[in-house]
């Protein structure tokens, strides 16, 4: 009788495992939402991602929480894997920076990281991504790991390589005769991070070329400079000799129209190549009959400027660099739906757990986005907080509630102290007074209106500024931010 009971229990467990949905988590490196047509881009062509978005939900307010390192991807990817907030991250590996550690119990968090949780739940776990700048201790816990940095354009050194690793895994799975476990595939790309080496056919399509030095001319077919382009940022960003601002191949310190347009076109070529690989993987899942039972999430580790506001990197808190794209499809997600979400990348772990029926680990500090994805809620939090202090301290902080956003700068040992206040409904591109200059308008083709400026010093918005300053301090305290700004209580 006991043996029969045991057999029935095991049979039930296996049946439950078989019914569990699969997960395909797609992560790009350095991609802002505005590079995709679902977020308004009219140039970069991504038909497979368009189809993915149409089959599920688009989140309009998804963010990474920030970084205390110039390598923004390191804390960002650690937040994805651990579900932890910025100031509570574990040691991520042998080469991690001490300043990236927060208030944690490292081993406990590692054992409750994304691959560890799904390994325990009976999933097959597979990973392909770039090497380095992530939670390497957790990366090693995937059952199959095929990592390589691939930032060129060929079959062996471009995004095609990452795509082929997933296809090889799925082809092997398709031949399995025994009962299949559900899978978690972590499908990471090395692009569109620089150097943005595009395929020849796609570079030709976007009117650009691969270069090692800043170009002085560019084709008329190249993408136009973005509406928030500036020849330089109005004040120093606070990270002296920051690699992304002074040493990107093909850009260096140049912010000319030719340089930025060429770099944008190369970025689009890299993204369209990624789209091709995503299409092949989704097509294979559909052919196998597994796509219908697979949750697919497409996002990035952070955004990036590429000429906007006179910046080139991701070490800032404007929307183009703080926000990330976030597309999700799968069982129960209404096709063609859209919501703000107000999510962080650290919400990915609890979200995937709740979508698949896997218990959320107690170490996770994020919130599940399942209520939003299932149409039960519009957002999971009212306020979003961002930080960057990879250079001089305390650095930059941002806070957003509704359409209102505040950014503060306290850098270079007090030499730069600035506050910006934006109404993102009226000024979604965070246009500054410098964008109104005729020589800038001549390049961007966009004439800002009078509401599109920094409102921080406008007396009409003094009460709103005070409200947002209070909100930022409250978030800094709640999240145990170790720094304070010049005009904040030094508690």
The pair of structure tokens assigned to 381 is 């939090």
Write out the E strands in 193-284.
none
For the chain, the straight-line distance linking the first and the last C-alpha, in angstroms and rounded, comes to: 65
Q: Kindly provide the residue ranges of all beta strands, DSSP E only, lying in 412-467, ordered along the sequence.
A: 416-423
409-446 burial, b at 16+ Cβ within 10 Å, e below that, comes to: bbbbeeeeebbbbbbeeebbbbbbebbeeeebeebbeb
Q: Does residue 390 lie in a domain region?
A: yes
- Check whether residue 164 and residue 312 sit in a common domain: yes
Give the separation between CA 300 and CA 343, rounded to whole angstroms.
13
- Whether residue 458 sits in one domain with residue 310: no
* Of 359, 378, 397, the domain-final residue: 378
Q: Establish whether the linkage from the previous residue to 195 is cis, with ω within 30° of 0.
A: yes
Same domain? For 399 and 422 the reply is yes
Q: Classify 97 as helix, strand or coil.
A: coil
* Whether 275 and 232 share a structural domain: yes
Are 39 and 117 in a shared domain? yes
- In this structure, are 245 and 137 located in the same domain? yes
Cis amide prior to 192 (ω within 30 degrees):
yes
Give per-residue pLDDT as tens, 165-222.
Answer: 999 999 999 999 889 999 999 999 999 999 999 999 999 999 999 999 999 999 999 9
Question: Both 453 and 389 in a single domain?
Answer: yes
Total domain count, the chain = 2
Q: How far apart are CA 398 and CA 438, in angstroms?
A: 29
Residues 402 and 340: their CA atoms lie apart, in Å, by: 10
The answer to whether residue 145 is domain-embedded is: yes
Query: Residue 472 and residue 384: Cα distance in Å, rounded?
Result: 9
Q: Which pLDDT score is estimated for 4?
A: 44
> Is 491 contained in some domain?
no
Residues 373 and 406 both lie in one domain: no
Collapsing DSSP to helix, strand or coil, 242 comes out as coil
One domain for residues 392 and 374: no
For 159-172, write each residue's pLDDT tens digit: 999 999 999 999 99
Q: Is residue 1 part of a domain?
A: no
45 CA to centre of own chain: 19
Report the distance separating Cα 209 and Cα 437, nearest Å: 30
How many of the other CB atoms lie within 10 Å of CB of 48? 19
Distance from C-alpha of 336 to C-alpha of 54, rounded to nearest angstrom: 5
Q: CB count, 10 Å around CB of 111?
A: 15
**Rounded distance, CA 227 to CA 3, Å?**
70
Contact yes or no for 417/385 (Cβ under 8 A): no
What was the pLDDT predicted at 103? 72
Same domain, 308 and 210: yes
Write out the residue range of the structural domain in which residue 323 sits.
Answer: 22-378
Region for residue 341 given its phi and psi (left: phi exceeds 0; alpha: psi -120 to 50; beta: otherwise) = left
Residue 135 sits in a domain whose CATH number is 3.40.720.10
Residue 463: inside a domain: yes
Beta strand 144-145 with 124-128 is: parallel
Using 50 as the pLDDT threshold, list the residues of the chain that sit under it. 1-17
Among candidate residues 378, 404, 427, the one where a domain is terminated: 378
> Which 3 state secondary structure label does DSSP give 192?
strand
Domain contains 114: yes
| Phi–psi pair at 393, nearest 5 degrees | -105, 155
Query: pTM here?
Result: 0.95
pLDDT of residue 10: 44
Whether 5 maps to a domain, the answer reads: no
- Are residues 83 and 364 in contact, defined by beta-carbon separation less than 8 angstroms? yes
Our CA angle for 76, 77, 79, nearest 5°, is 65
User: Among 344, 378, 412, which residue terminates a domain?
Assistant: 378
Residue 9 lies in a domain: no
| 131 and 29 in a common domain | yes
Shared domain for 369 and 392, answered yes or no, is: no
Q: Please check whether residue 101 is in contact with residue 87, taking contact to mean a CB–CB distance below 8 angstroms.
A: no
Please count the residues of the chain.
491
């Amino acid at each position: 009788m006991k043996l029969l009971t045991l057999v029935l229990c095991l049979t039930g467990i296996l049946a439950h495992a078989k019914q569990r949905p699969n997960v395909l988590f797609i992560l790009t490196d350095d991609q802002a939402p505005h590079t995709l047509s679902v977020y308004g881009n009219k140039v970069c062509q991504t038909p497979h991602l368009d189809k993915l978005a149409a089959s599920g939900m688009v989140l309009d307010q998804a963010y990474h929480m920030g970084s205390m390192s110039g390598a923004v991807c390191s804390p960002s990817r650690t937040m994805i894997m651990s579900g932890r907030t910025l100031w509570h991250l574990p040691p991520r590996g042998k080469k991690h920076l001490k300043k990236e550690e927060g208030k944690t119990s490292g081993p406990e968090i590692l054992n409750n990281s994304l691959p560890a949780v799904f390994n325990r739940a009976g999933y097959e776990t597979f990973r392909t991504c770039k090497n380095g700048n992530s939670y390497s201790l957790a990366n090693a816990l995937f059952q199959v790991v095929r990592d390589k940095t691939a930032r060129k354009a060929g079959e062996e050194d471009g995004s095609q390589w990452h795509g082929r690793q997933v296809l090889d895994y799925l082809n092997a799975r398709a031949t399995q005769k025994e009962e299949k476990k559900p899978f978690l595939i972590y499908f990471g790309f090395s692009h569109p991070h620089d150097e943005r080496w595009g395929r020849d056919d796609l570079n030709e399509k976007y009117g650009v070329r691969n270069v090692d030095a800043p170009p002085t001319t560019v084709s008329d077919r190249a993408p136009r400079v973005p509406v928030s382009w500036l020849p330089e940022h109005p004040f120093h960003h606070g990270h002296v000799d920051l690699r992304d601002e002074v040493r990107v191949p093909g850009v260096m310190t140049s912010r000319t129209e030719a340089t930025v347009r060429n770099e944008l076109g190369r970025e689009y070529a890299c993204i369209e190549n990624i789209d091709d690989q995503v299409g092949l993987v989704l097509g294979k899942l559909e052919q196998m009959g597994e796509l219908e039972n697979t949750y697919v999430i497409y996002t990035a580790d952070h955004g990036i400027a590429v000429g906007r506001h006179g910046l080139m990197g991701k070490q800032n808190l404007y929307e183009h660099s703080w926000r990330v794209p976030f597309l999700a499809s799968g069982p129960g997600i209404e096709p063609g739906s859209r919501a703000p979400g107000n999510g962080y990348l650290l919400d990915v772990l609890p979200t995937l757990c709740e979508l698949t029926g896997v218990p959320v680990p107690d170490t996770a500090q994020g919130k599940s986005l399942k209520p939003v994805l299932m149409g039960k809620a519009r957002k999971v939090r009212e306020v979003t907080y961002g930080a960057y202090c990879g250079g001089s301290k305390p650095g930059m902080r941002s806070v957003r509630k509704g359409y209102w956003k505040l950014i503060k700068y306290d850098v270079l040992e007090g030499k730069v102290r600035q506050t910006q206040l934006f109404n993102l409904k009226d000024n979604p591109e965070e246009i500054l007074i410098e964008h109104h200059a005729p020589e800038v308008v001549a390049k961007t083709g966009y004439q800002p209106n009078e509401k599109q400026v920094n409102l921080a010093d406008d007396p009409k918005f003094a009460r709103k500024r005070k409200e947002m300053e209070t909100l930022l301090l409250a978030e800094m305290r709640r999240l145990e931010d170790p720094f304070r700004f010049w005009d904040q209580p030094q508690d």
